[in-house]
Amino acid sequence: MRHLVGIPELSAPELSAILERTSEIAKGAIFSFPGAVALAFYEPSTRTEMSFLRACQLVGAAPLRLLPERASVQKGEGPEETLKTLLAIGAQVLVIRTPEPLLPHRLSHLGLSVVNAGDGAHQHPTQALADAVALSRALGELGGRRMLVVGDHLHSRVSRSTVALSVRLGMTVELAGPPDLLPEGFAEMLGATRSQDFEASLAQADVVMALRIQMERLGSVGAGDLAAYRREWGVTAERYQRLGAQPWLMHPGPANLGVEIDPELVDLPRSLIRRQVTAGVQVRAAVLSLIGEALS
Amino acid sequence: MRLVVQGGRLLDPGLAMDELGDLLIEDGVIVSVGGDQPAEGALVVDARGTAVLPGLIDMHIHLRQPGQSHKETLSSGLLAAVRGGFTAVAAMPNTQPVIDSPGAVLEIERQAAQLGLAHLHQLGAVSRKSLGEALADFAGYRAAGVVAVSDDGVPVAQAGLMRRALQHAQAWGLVVVAHSEEPSLAEGGVADDGPDAWALGLPTQSASAEAAMVARDLVLAEETGGHLHVAHVSSRATVELVRAAKARGVPVSAEVTPHHLLLTSAELPRLGTLAKMNPPLRSERDRLALIEGLADGTIDAVASDHAPHTQSEKASGWLAAPFGVTGMETALPMLVAGLVEKGALPLGRLIDAMSAAPARILGLPARQLAAGMAANLTLVDLLAPVSFSAESLATLGKNCPFLDRPGLGRVLGVVVEGRWVAC
């Protein structure tokens, strides 16, 4: 594979190759990509950027970090220019995080391999792949399993990526959330269905993922708004303990603990939240090494 | 000065005219229609094999002078108008600075007149600097011959100011052209609120952002008697509001663009930011309602909303790129191929919507192939297939969503107030 821009663009052979390579890396196999990987994060990110840096180390690639607050982007340089400069410097892969939807797609035609690390509310494919890997390690075969994803879908690239990939892997996916953040028709667009009853869907789910609530999306965002959100849509300890068969727990991070998910749930044995992060490093190493092979 | 347009198919839906014959023009006025006209001492335009239409008017375009001549100049824009078959255009005042005084209107019209291309009717802003705060000088506009006012590009957000604008428009015989968008519903949206935009993670604006503002303005127009013209109608909801308002006699007219008639949000992935315009492309259901509204006369006119931008501006991404596409040169051929040829709209209705209707709305000299009328004509071979490329367009704005799409109708030239302007 040359690029990873989004789940819809990912071919079936590419998907199999990534999953297989990830499991080999998890078992300790070494794949080397002695190239240079530029990391351009135009939005703040801790875990994704750290995860890509660690992935570079695992495959022996040299990471080149572009710091937008110091870079010529502050002087009005367009992303195409930046990319061509990176190419001239000797980078072979660009890992990009940007608020601009579809920018990674556009840049993928300019000669450098592009890995999308999040483009606005559009796609975050390595997160979806990490989620799928962490989940299949817990559940085994994913086909026919039930996933519930709750939160702000409208502004979430994780929803668009992880839900699409889970559906593609044969899961039955339900979406829940406030009506303005999960508009009519949104779930169907992703091949999922809209939950009619959050509590009932929770009771049936094999896994539940809470999405990060962006505080500015909740209107005036007083404490009352957050309390109301938690009351209606929170994966709370009380709600969770009440369930007969407890579903696996996921969150793409960073979590607003005590709002979309309660802090005491994060490190339960049935929580995959840390394992999602670990899988993320392995998936990213797998992607970089596969791109490296395609380039050589 | 005599001009004979010889042997063309004289096509005027308003007069139910469709016949072969000549047109004799003297001193800018049609003096005789049909049959053989004496050509001695006259300039002869050979119109055999082409249709001769009442002169087309594009009542909603953006030229970028003053201030943004890297996007378009008067000469490139008015040449594009001629290439599109337009004898006259009405330009929005959202230049830099905004054209918000009678003097500024007269100055730009003076410059345009020297070019000898299409006739420019320059609109004045509704409010000073189009800030939506202080009303511009409507009486002065009228004295300067201004036909309409608009803050296009932005809505008149304050209902109180819009009401006063319509009162002044009523008093001075002006038309208020409304860019209808309720700001709290549009909220930075770059595409229609629906699955096509959601799939791409784009911020959206709902059709209600348009319709809610149109509803407000229809109430104000009904109350004040001021003529409201709804620009670039994009949604089914707006069509229904305008239809109901017309039925109860509200002084309202409306226009629709070729891109809203021919494209939907399903084209977002293919077109990229060439599908970024305001209002946005909407659903197929909306598109069909627009065609129906145009066919039944709820929507009076077709206008291009020609909005030139540079390639690099449009290439700056979905969030950063400016709104708008160009369309003067492609409007007629795309609509003939995309609607008329497919049986979705009668040719006569399209011609009316692009000539007589905008003349009526703006109070311009009537567009008719009849003796005594100002000689404004469009010569077009309606059977000739055409296609466009960035290089072939006269406009500096290559941001056209219809490049490489087959069109029908090759424009040979226009007669502007008796003056032959070949393409």
| DSSP sequence for chain A | ---B--TTT--HHHHHHHHHHHHHHHTT------SEEEEEESS--SHHHHHHHHHHHHHTPEEEEE-TTTSGGGGT--HHHHHHHHHHHT--EEEEEESSTTHHHHHTTSSSEEEEEEETTS--HHHHHHHHHHHHHHHS--TT-EEEEES--TT-HHIIIIIHHHHHTT-EEEEE--TTTS-TTHHHHTT-EE-S-HHHHHHH-SEEEEPPPPGGGSTT--HHHHHHHHHHH-B-HHHHHT-SSPPEEE--S---BTTTB-GGGTTSTTB-HHHHHHHHHHHHHHHHHHHHHHH-
**Residue of chain A minimizing CA distance to B316:** A78
In this structure, the number of other CB atoms found within 10 A of the CB of residue B78 comes to 29
User: Cα distance from B284 to chain A (closest Cα, Å)?
Assistant: 16
Closest CA to B110 of B102, B120, B97: B120
B318/A101 CB distance under 8 A:
yes
**Confidence band, pLDDT 50/70/90 cuts, at residue A81:** confident
Most B-contacting residue of A9, A102, A123, A184 (CB-CB within 10 A), to test interface: A102
The domains spanning A12-123+277-295 and A126-276 adopt the same CATH topology = yes
Which portions of chain B are predicted below pLDDT 70?
none
Please indicate if any CB of chain B lies within 8 Å of the CB of A15.
no
CATH number of the domain enclosing B13: 2.30.40.10
B196, B305, B352, B381: the catalytic one is B305
Contact A186 B272 (CB under 8 A): no
Number of domains in chain B: 2
Residues of chain A above pLDDT 70, percent: 94
Alpha-carbon distance of B94 to A176, in angstroms, equals 44
Contacts of A157 in chain B (CB under 8 A): 201
- Identify whether residues B172 and B99 lie together within a single domain: yes
Contacts of B201 in chain A (CB under 8 A): 101-102, 119-123, 157, 160
Does any domain span residue B367? no
Whether residues A122 and B201 touch (CB distance < 8 A) is answered with yes
pLDDT of the residue at A44: 84
Q: Answer yes or no: is B266 within a domain.
A: yes
Which residue of chain B is at minimal alpha-carbon distance from A180?
A: B193
Same domain, B294 and B175: yes
Report residue B264 CA to chain centroid gap.
19
Kindly report the average pLDDT of chain A as a whole number. 93
User: What band does A15 get if pLDDT is binned at 50, 70 and 90?
Assistant: very high
In this prediction the ipTM stands at: 0.91
| Residue B397 vs residues B70, B308, B328: alpha-carbon distances, Å | 9, 4, 11
B259 sits in which H/E element: helix B258-262
Q: Are B284 and B313 contained in the same domain?
A: yes
B317 — contact with chain A (CB < 8 Å)? yes
Mutate to test the interface with A, among B205, B270, B274, B319 (most CBs of A within 10 A): B319
A161: nearest CA partner in chain B: B199
Contacting residues of B for A80, CB less than 8 Å apart: 315
- Residues B343, B277 share a domain: yes
Hey, is the C-beta of B199 within 8 angstroms of any chain A C-beta? yes
- For B201, the closest of A78, A120, A188 (CB atoms) is A120
Chain A, 143 to 172: residues with Cβ < 8 Å from chain B are 154, 157, 160
What residues in A contact B274, CB-CB < 8 Å? none
Residue A76: per-residue pLDDT: 63
**CATH code 3.40.190.10 for A126-276:** no
B195 touches chain A (CB under 8 A): yes
Q: Are residues B226 and B78 in the same domain?
A: yes
A215 pLDDT more than 80: no
> Residue A73: which pLDDT band, with cuts at 50, 70 and 90?
low
CA closest to A120 among chain B residues: B201
- Cα–Cα dist B145/B106, whole Å: 9
Q: Which of A69, A27, A88 is nearest to A286 (CA)?
A: A27
Sign of the alpha-carbon dihedral angle for A48, A50, A51, A57: positive
Within a domain: B286: yes
**CB-based contact (8 Å) between A101 and chain B?**
yes
Tell me the nearest-neighbour CA distance from A244 into chain B, angstroms: 35
Hey, are the CB atoms on A189 and B318 less than 8 Å from each other?
no
B194 neighbors B220 (Cβ within 8 angstroms): no
B311/A contact by beta carbon, under 8 A: no
With beta carbons under 8 A apart, name residues in chain A contacting B317: 79, 100-103, 106
> Are B329 and B215 within one domain?
yes
Specify whether B209 is located in the same domain as B280: yes
Chain B CB within 8 Å of residue A254 CB: no
Residues 6 or more apart whose Cβ sits within 8 Å of residue B129 = B97, B98, B100
- Residue B39 domain-assigned (yes or no): yes
- CATH at residue B244: 3.20.20.140
Side-chain-side CA neighbours of residue B43 (13 Å): 14
Residue B369 lies in a domain: no
Quote the domain boundaries for residue B28: 2-51+374-422
State the average pLDDT over residues A87-111: 94
- Sign of the dihedral through C-alpha B274, B278, B280, B286: negative
Same domain, yes or no: B335 and B387: no
A258 touches chain B (CB under 8 A): no
Q: CATH number of the domain at A12-123+277-295, out of 3.40.50.1820, 3.30.300.210, 3.40.50.1370, 3.40.50.2300? A: 3.40.50.1370
8 Å CB contact of A103 and B194: no
A191 contacts chain B (CB < 8 A): no
Instruction: State yes or no: is B305 an active-site residue.
Output: yes
pLDDT at A71 over 70: no
Rounded to an integer, the average pLDDT of A11-40 is 96
Task: Express each pLDDT in A141-191 by its tens digit.
Answer: 999 999 999 999 999 999 999 999 999 999 999 999 999 999 999 999 999
| pTM given for the model | 0.94
Report d(CA A267, CA A249) in Å as an integer. Answer: 10
Domain extent listing, chain A = 12-123+277-295, 126-276
- Looking at the fold, whether B414 and B336 belong to one and the same domain comes out as no
State whether residue A100 sits within 8 Å of chain B by CB: yes
- B263 and B292 in a single domain? The answer is yes
Q: Which residue of A has its CA nearest to B193?
A: A183
Distance from CA of B170 to the nearest CA of A (A): 40
Q: Does B192 touch chain A (CB under 8 A)?
A: no
Q: Is the domain of B35 the same as that of B68?
A: no
Handedness of CA A109, A110, A116, A122 (dihedral sign): negative
Is B9 in the same domain as B84? no
Q: Do B201 and A157 touch (CB under 8 A)?
A: yes
Q: pLDDT tens digits, residue range A36-47?
A: 999 999 988 888
